[in-house]
Amino acid sequence: MYVCICAAVPDTEIRSCIARGARTVEEVGDACGAGTGCGSCHDHIDVFLAAAHAPSELAGLPATA
């Protein structure tokens, strides 16, 4: 799925940039160009950043249903 249409950057590339150390929307943009055009994808990039760097409430739940 494309996160940034302007620069044709898919979610896999955003995740890769974050895994390589990007911590802000600007750092993601420097790494792959996402978010450097119109800026409408900034919120989406923020979600990927938050998911990668913030602990999830779900992580502590048991794996069984």
Hey, how many other C-beta atoms are within 10 angstroms of the C-beta on 44?
18
pLDDT tens per residue across all 65 residues of the chain: 999 999 999 999 999 999 999 999 999 999 999 999 999 999 999 999 998 987 666 666 676 65
CA distances from 59 to 18, 30, 46, 55, 56 (A): 20, 31, 20, 7, 5
CA distances from 27 to 39, 60, 64 (A): 14, 30, 38
CA distances from 64 to 56, 60, 61 (A): 17, 12, 9
pTM attached to this predicted model: 0.81
